[in-house]
Amino acid sequence: MYSKSKYNEDMGADNLTYVLIIHRVEDFAKWKSLYDEDGSTRKAKGSKGAQLLRNTNDPNHLVVMTEWADLDSAKNFVESEDLSKTMQEATVVGKPAVFYLEEIEKTDY
């Protein structure tokens, strides 16, 4: 079995951290506008990019996957008071589910 560092070394993988956030919003258009406005803040705090997904049966049920250089940068952003305020303003309903992830393998199949 591989440890994270041994796996990454053997596979040539970067030590990137991913943050998966699942939440529901009341108003997708308002959320998207604020999400886009916050892009420069995410980038300045270390985000390497993101994927946005939504439920095909409920367009207000969203999944956001962001890529970060390291876990500390990811946590500093996700757990910040600024993000909490932005999410409230962006009509996020309830407490989002947040997962900090590491890539262990990428395949073509």
Query: Does 16 or 49 have the greater pLDDT score?
Result: 49
Is 5 inside any structural domain?
no
Q: Is residue 12 part of a domain?
A: no
Write down how long the chain is. Answer: 109
Instruction: State pTM to two decimals.
Output: 0.82
Nearest residue to 78 (alpha-carbon basis) of 104, 98, 105: 98
Give pLDDT tens digits for 59-82.
999 999 999 999 999 999 999 999
41 exposure class (CB count in 10 Å sphere: 0-12, 13-18, 19+)? middle
What pLDDT does 10 receive?
A: 53
- Tokens representing 43? 């980038």
pLDDT greater than 80 at residue 15? no
Considering the domain boundaries, does residue 18 fall inside one? no
pLDDT tens-digit map of 17-60: 999 999 999 999 999 999 999 999 999 999 999 999 999 999 99
Task: Write out the residue range of the structural domain in which residue 84 sits.
Answer: 26-102
